[in-house]
Structure 1
Amino acid sequence: MRSRRPWLRRASVTAVSATVLMALAVPAQASSTSGTPVTTTTAAAAPAPATATTTATVADAAEAADVSAAADVDYETWQRDCRAVMDQALPQLKQRIAAPRPGEKQAIVLDIDNTALETDFGFSFPQPANEPVLEVAEYAQDRGVAVFFVTARPGIIHAPTAFNLDHAGYESAGLYVRGFFDLFRNVAEYKTAQRVDIESKGYTIIANIGNSATDLSGGHAERTYKLPDYGGQLS
């Protein structure tokens, strides 16, 4: 049974970052923040100019685990709780993907850490995909839906992050990372602004998936799906 080991994860991330700093001169990706972001306490209440937002109900198991915030999180429990949420998301996405509006370009947005990738459980580089989320992404990718990634990771690790996502099986239509000035910005506002930018490219965001409230608040997605973070224990 795998358990979360934060100290080992931090050591691994530090080693990767040091290697990147010495071997790569990776500029931060510029990200447009056109328009005024809408920030609210819940995605369901946020007025989104292009799309109406519906917050999906999190599966009972994941909800209960979030509330309990156990001292440690084992891998099997986390996977079961992620699967419960994605088992709810996939039928809804299948229905929406099968009924596009005329001329519509559909997209989904994914957070990375403990959403697309097993950050707190993947003690290696490249980190493995979070399988329940990858399965949903692959279904969307295979049907022409663009998959975007919006992360709070800094731009200095854009290149290894992009490599990791590709290695894990994702087909990225765009990876948004934080530039220098974004590091001093509220994370929820930063992530909302990136979804606004995706919409400005003509996409309809039919789903936004993350494990933190900052991934999902602010609107600009038809549906949001929250994975467990067990009271903030997972990054």
Structure 2
Amino acid sequence: MCSSVVGLTPNLEASMNTRSPSRVRRGTLAAGVILTAVAVPAALTMPAYAGPQAAHDDHGTSRAALTRAASGTDRLLEPRSRFTMAADGSSGTRPDGAGVPNIDSVKSTIRTYYAADATGIADKTTSPYISELGGVLGKQATQLKGLYNQAKRSGKKPAIVLDADDTTLWTYDMEDNAMHFNFDPVLQDVWVQGQKFPATPGMVQFVAAAQKAGFAIFGLTGRNDDQKVATVANLGKVGYTAFNTDNFFTKWTGKGDSQQPSYITCATAKCTTVEYKAGTRKHIESLGYDIALNVGDQWSDLQGGYADHTLKLPNPTYYLPSPNLAGVEEPKLAPRTRFTMKPDGSSGKTVGGEGIPNIDSVKSTIRTYYGADATGIANKTSSPYITELGRLTGAITPALRASCAVASRLGVKPAIVLDADDTTLWTYDMEDNAMHFNFDPVLQDAWVQGQKFPATPGMVALVNAAQKSGCTLIGLTGRNDDQKAATIGNLAKVGYTGFTNPNYYTKWTGKGDSQQPSYITCAAAKCTTIEYKSQTRAHVQTKAGGGYTILANFGDQFSDLKGGHAIVPIKLPNPTYYLP
């Protein structure tokens, strides 16, 4: 890759020796070196990387041509939509951040599937989830008679076993609105004891049909004995008539009389979900029942046998894995690993619940990718993320240095534009450990003002090398004017040497002197990220903005890069949030 720089440089040197090269010619030469020296290695290292653009109008290219070039490039600046992801998070070992489902896109897809509003409250009358459940349960209801007759032939009493959460009782509003997809056992107990859960759509009717067909009904949940009375009461409150404290099994607490039953044996002191649930089903069958159907929303509800048939209900909002029983192979009782997901969440209308990447599996995959520990702190020395960034910066830095040096000697004021969060400053520990992937602007400001962010791996060396080679550094961030001084201070603190106040652009607050600049016009009262950033880059290219030639534009979000006004956009990986 570096050979393209070496081979091109002598020709540029020769061009520089011609008499009085025009500004247009100098811009063209600068574009030529950056296209060869940066676009080629970046294209080889970044799957989502877009092609080069023409030089800006101050160097002889019309704004119309720039617009056309930007439009063509922007079509390539789109997130990946097909993913392969193992449920256990192991797919994060690949140094491929674009291949990890973005957690914000996953949330949007889940909310579309449940037709949830902006506060995380699911629609209780119509949604893709309700439609899918209606189809699944409707089909299963037509098979109840056959299942009953099959079980009856065993000489035992036909039975159906049902899990509680998201099988008979619907937890979505708690998971999203109350917990923001971060499980809190204290808050969960408040909901349980308060009997706050509605029925899972369609299940009251299904259980009633099973009772009418002659089945004995059992409940089997991971909720504990202290929650048993409230759970049975909640079930009755929403319309179930089949459950009572005798046929509803909850897990022991280990306190007082709530001890592990003698009919359950486990490999270690702490039973797995499958050991507990399969052992309980075995116990039910020992009482003279044949479990014709076992219904649950988790694969661990269904594994371990002791049921003639299983019914998996969709639930992408959490994942509770468990090792299967020793020697038991049930390959069909496993999560999907291939997904199609558009970044805007619209796939939630069409793909079905099992076709949505499970949010807990996505978190596990992200943490593997960043080498994060159980508390959400990223490994600062070694991880697939650091490996990927090392490859990217290692490929680009030599070419960028050469491009900056040659363009500087040509006198075209070369510059590179850099976003802040997860481009120059690394926010992972804030996003995971502090915010649990649920953005909090107050907490974010505390981190910004406290200058708590480390440098994005590999970027200090790349940025400082570009600056030393003749490129001016332009900072362009969605952080606001009140955060500007702290951001520049943080950058200097972690080793960046070239950022200055005049060339660091932050967003206006609308208060006092912090107002929308005259060089930015927007279609609505609130500017989009692309309007703000692309027009700021256009301003940087004008005489008033410094008259710079933007050789490369670095960002972790596609919205950092769209809208043109840079020769080469360079996308850094970031599956921890999505800012369209």
TM-score, normalisation: structure 2 = 0.30
In 2, distance between residues paired with 1:99 and 1:45?
18
Is 167-176 or 218-227 further displaced after alignment? 167-176
Contact 1:107 1:206 in 2 (8 A): yes
The structure that is strand-richer by fraction is: 1
Percent identity, aligned pairs only? 28
CA–CA distance in 2 between the matches of 1:95 and 1:204? Answer: 15
Do the aligned partners of residues 95 and 47 (structure 1) sit closer, same or farther apart at CA in structure 2, a change above 3 Å counting?
closer
SS in 1 for 2:428: coil
Which residue of 503, 506, 525 maps to 1:177? 506
Which range moves more in the overlay, 111-120 or 122-131? 122-131
Residue equivalent to 1:107: 415
2:390 to 58, 72, 83: 83
Partners in 2 of 1:164 and 1:98 — Cα distance?
27
Distance 2:561 2:490 in 1: 23
Larger relative contact order (C-alpha < 8 A, sep ≥ 6)?
1
- Determine helix, strand or coil for the equivalent of 1:159: helix
Distance 2:391 2:570 in 1: 11
Structure 1 residue 97, shift from structure 2 partner: 2.0
Question: 3-state SS of the aligned residue for 2:492?
Answer: helix
Superposed displacement of residue 146, structure 1? 0.8
Partner of 2:538: 196
Structure 1 residue 48 displacement after superposition:
6.1
Shift of 1:98: 3.2
Q: 1:216 and 1:138, CA in 2 relative to 1: closer, same or farther beyond 3 A? A: same
Larger Rg: 2
Aligned position for 1:22: none
3-state SS in 2 of match to 1:176: strand
Q: Secondary structure at the match of 2:406?
A: coil
Q: Which amino acid aligns with 1:158?
A: K
- 1:1-235 equivalences under 5 Å are 44=51, 49-50=56-57, 64-69=96-101, 70-71=362-363, 72-73=366-367, 74=370, 75=378, 76-100=383-407, 102-121=410-429, 125-126=450-451, 127-170=453-496, 171-173=498-500, 174-180=503-509, 184-200=526-542, 201-230=546-575, 232=577
Whole-angstrom distance in 1 between the partners of 2:469 and 2:54: 28
Q: Which stretch has the larger CA shift, 64-73 or 81-90?
A: 64-73
* Deviation readout 1:16-52 (Å, 9 max, x if unpaired): xxxxxxxxxxxxxxxxxxxxxxxxxx96487664377
What is the CA RMSD across the aligned residues, in angstroms?
3.2
Distance 2:56 2:536 in 1: 15
- Aligned residue type for 1:178: K
Once the two structures are superposed, residues 63-120 of structure 1 have per-residue CA deviations (whole angstroms, 9 ceiling, x without a partner) of: x432232423324222222222212221321231232263211111111001101122
Structure 2 CA distance for aligned equivalents of residues 231 and 177 of structure 1:
22
Distance 1:231 1:48 in 2: 33
Q: 1:191 to 1:102 in 2, by over 3 A?
A: same
Instruction: Show CA shifts across 1:130-186 (max 9, x none).
Output: 131111111012223211110001111112112111212222141101003569210
Give the Cα separation in 1 of the matches to 2:534 and 2:50: 10
Relative to structure 1, the CA distance from residue 114 to residue 206 in structure 2 (aligned partners, 3 Å threshold; closer, same or farther) is same
CA contact (8 A) 1:188 1:214 kept: yes
Residues in 1 aligned to 2:411 and 2:52: alpha-carbon distance in whole angstroms: 27
Cα distance in 1 between the residues matched to 2:492 and 2:396: 23
> Contact between 1:149 and 1:172, CA under 8 Å: does it hold in 2?
yes
Q: Report the Cα offset of residue 210 of structure 1.
A: 0.7
Partner of 1:37: none
CA–CA distance in 1 between the matches of 2:53 and 2:561? 11
Aligned pair count?
Answer: 190
Counterpart AA for 1:229: N
Range that drifts further, 197-206 or 166-175: 166-175
Q: 1:68 to 1:148 in 2, by over 3 A?
A: same
Distance in 2 of aligned mates of 1:49 and 1:108: 14
Q: Structure 2: 5+ residue runs without aligned partners?
A: 1-48, 78-93, 102-361, 371-377, 435-446, 511-515, 517-524
